[in-house]
């Protein structure tokens, strides 16, 4: 079960620190700028330049060009060093989708759109980095802000890990978030254990036997077999249930050739 708090009706903006509330107009501005310039995985050059520009402007130590377009920023707390390192991760890439929304900040890149909210994730991570930088005297330990490329398919996490983003200093814990339209505005949802689904690919080859339609008993129809497999997978693992009601949800795609 997902626990959500608070809901839109109970949000009291006065409880949010004024210096955080004051960032709201900038967060909107950053997000909309990023939305206008979406880039596919490992092509996030404009996005990375914008992120680096802001980090440099705020005096935040950072490294660019990790796994091609990734960035890692480091913010050290001003209190006695606890030795603990927390990483905050945000993805930057967009999807190969044509935006049809008629809004002032519509995508300016034909066939590419921030349809999964990574523009928002990047803007939130930037706002978090700024706030932690200006209030670094209030906490101990080290914060790593990781701006990851290529979440949508190519796979940017692994090459960033292989490049050592979780080392020097070693990360004790890492957190992230995802914008979610199914939750009411002003709500934060959390859940113990697994929450988001992952995608994995596998190949299944079905060997049929050709023949004449008038003598089906002499054939093995691979299409019928494939259809049975699809139905069995859908029924066997409960793929029609809501993801929060089960541990996993599989999707089987069939590509018949021949």
Per residue, what are the HEC states of 96-116? Answer: CCCCCCCCCCCCCCCCCECCC
DSSP structural state of residue 154: T
The structure's pTM equals: 0.81
| pLDDT tens digit sequence for 227-240 | 998 888 877 655 55
- For β-strands 142-148 and 70-76, DSSP reports them as antiparallel
Biggest CA-to-CA distance, the chain: 83
- State the pLDDT at residue 7: 53
- State the pLDDT at residue 4: 53
- CB-based contact 191:3 (threshold 8 Å): yes
Give CA–CA dist 87/93, Å, rounded.
Answer: 19
- What positions carry a catalytic annotation? 93, 151
Helices in 71-221 by DSSP H: which ranges? 118-134, 157-162
Six-digit token string for 26: 């900038």
Give CA–CA dist 218/61, Å, rounded.
Answer: 71
Q: What is the pLDDT along the chain (258 residues), one digit of tens a residue?
A: 455 555 545 556 666 678 888 999 999 999 999 999 999 999 999 999 999 999 999 999 999 999 999 999 999 999 988 899 999 999 999 999 999 999 999 999 999 999 999 999 999 999 999 999 999 999 999 999 999 999 998 899 999 999 999 999 999 999 999 999 888 887 888 888 877 777 777 788 999 999 998 998 999 999 999 999 888 887 765 555 565 555 554 555 555 554
Six-digit token string for 231: 């139905």
Assigned CATH class of 3-190:
alpha beta
Give CATH 3.40.630.10 domain extents, the chain.
Answer: 3-190
- State the pLDDT at residue 75: 98
């Amino acid at each position: 079960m997902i626990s959500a708090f608070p809901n839109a009706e109970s949000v009291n903006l006065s409880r949010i620190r004024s210096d955080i509330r004051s960032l709201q107009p900038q967060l909107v501005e950053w997000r909309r700028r990023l939305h206008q310039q979406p880039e596919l995985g490992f092509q996030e050059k404009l996005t990375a330049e914008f992120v680096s520009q802001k980090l440099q402007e705020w005096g935040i130590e950072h490294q660019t060009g990790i796994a091609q377009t990734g960035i890692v920023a480091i913010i050290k707390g001003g209190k006695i060093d606890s030795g603990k390192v927390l990483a905050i991760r945000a993805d930057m890439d967009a999807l190969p989708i044509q935006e049809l929304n008629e809004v002032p900040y519509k995508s300016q890149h034909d066939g590419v759109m921030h349809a999964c909210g990574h523009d928002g994730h990047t803007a939130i991570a930037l706002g978090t980095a700024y706030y932690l930088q200006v209030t670094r005297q209030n906490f101990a330990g080290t914060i790593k802000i990781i701006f990851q490329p290529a979440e949508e398919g190519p796979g940017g996490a692994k090459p960033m890990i292989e490049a050592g983003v979780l080392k020097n200093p070693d990360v004790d814990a890492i957190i992230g978030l995802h914008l979610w339209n199914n939750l009411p505005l002003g709500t934060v949802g959390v859940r113990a254990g697994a929450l988001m689904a992952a995608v994995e690919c596998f190949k299944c080859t079905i060997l049929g036997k050709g023949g004449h339609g008038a003598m089906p008993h002499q054939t093995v129809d691979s299409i019928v077999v494939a259809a049975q497999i699809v139905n069995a997978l859908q029924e066997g693992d409960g793929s029609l249930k809501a993801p929060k009601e089960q541990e996993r949800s599989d999707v089987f795609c069939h590509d018949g050739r021949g």
